[in-house]
Amino acid sequence: MMIRTFIALEIPDDALTQLLNIIKNKIGELQNVKWESREKLHLTLKFLGDTKKEFIDTYISAIERIAKKYNSLDLSFNRFGVFRKGNEPKIFWVGMNENRKLNEMVSEIETTFSEFGINKENRKFQPHLTLLRFRRYEDSEKILSLTEVNLPLIKFNADKITFYESKLLPNASVYRSIKSFYLKI
């Protein structure tokens, strides 16, 4: 049996609160906008995709080994942005400032999981949180205006990696934590 899985870095609650307050203060409450739920705001380190259940324990051991090697990460958000498909906005996100240790950890995850036969990501790692998936009925102009906001520095310390299952439902996806791991403090 297969399940969809991914590995993510958890973002502390106080950093999320600051970020969401900035959005609310800049554009208010918008009708017909389905923001990602707070529980889904994380930094994806590696999307594994369809995973055989018999590999779960092996993957858990690999993630745990990697997590034990790294100290908690001092990170910060730096700007809002949009991923587009052609001219159409598809994903509204908040990016993070470069962090050498984060990049090293992601590189190690990529290398480790390529040894399990999972393809390495072709694109350069661009750390971001997906805040909204455009559905074509939102007030996209107001949302896109956030890309002009000079985002104040929101610093935080991230120390928890979670291995998730992602279930696709007709209207959304639901995440279930398989296991969490703490980085060294």
CATH number of the domain enclosing 33? 3.90.1140.10
pLDDT band at 156; cut points 50, 70, 90: very high
Question: What's the predicted TM-score (pTM) here?
Answer: 0.93
pLDDT of 11 higher than 70: yes
Structure-block tokens of residue 168: 């696709």
pLDDT of 31 higher than 80: no
- What does the alpha-carbon distance between residue 99 and residue 75 come to, in Å, rounded to a whole number? 7
Average pLDDT over every residue of 136-143 = 75
The mean pLDDT of the chain is 93
pLDDT of 164 higher than 90: yes
Pairing of strands 160-168, 154-158: unpaired
65: domain range? Answer: 2-182
Number of domains in the chain: 1
Count of CB atoms situated within 10 Å of the CB of 143: 21
The whole-number pLDDT of residue 114 equals 97
